[in-house]
Amino acid sequence: MDSETRCLVVASLTFISGLIFGLGMGVLLAPQSGSRTRRHLRTMMEDVGERAGEWVEDAKETVNDMVDRGKKVARPL
């Protein structure tokens, strides 16, 4: 992995982490009842889990495509 790709991955993970942290803090500090806040957090975490699963599947597909392309390029004639 070259330095540009590594930098992009680190920046993306940092942004996503900050976004999740900020959303969590906003929910925790919002003036709502405890039961409503817990319900909101549960719903939000379920959504995050679903999206993370989708991202993992997309990443797996991308990696598999790249491996296949690499095998075609590296295959001796």
Per-residue pLDDT of 15-50, as tens digits, reads 999 998 988 888 778 777 778 878 887 888 888 888
Domain that holds residue 55: 32-77
Residues 36 and 54 in one domain: yes
> Residues 19, 5: one domain?
yes
Residue with tokens 């993306």: 12
Residue 3 clears pLDDT 60, i.e. is over it: yes
* Mean pLDDT value across the chain: 84
In this structure, the answer to whether residues 11 and 44 fall within a common structural domain is: no
Residues 47 and 70 in one domain: yes
Contacts of 40 (CB under 8 A, 6+ apart): 27, 32
Same domain? 16 vs 6: yes
Residues 55, 20 share a domain: no
Identify the pLDDT of residue 76.
Answer: 64
- Give the position of tokens 């990696």: 63
d(CA 59, CA 52): 10
Q: How many domains does the chain have?
A: 2
Is residue 73's pLDDT more than 60?
A: yes
Which of residues 65 and 37 earns the better pLDDT score? Answer: 65
Phi, psi at residue 30, to the nearest 5°? -70, 145
Question: What pTM does this model have?
Answer: 0.44
Whether 74 and 38 map to the same domain: the answer is yes
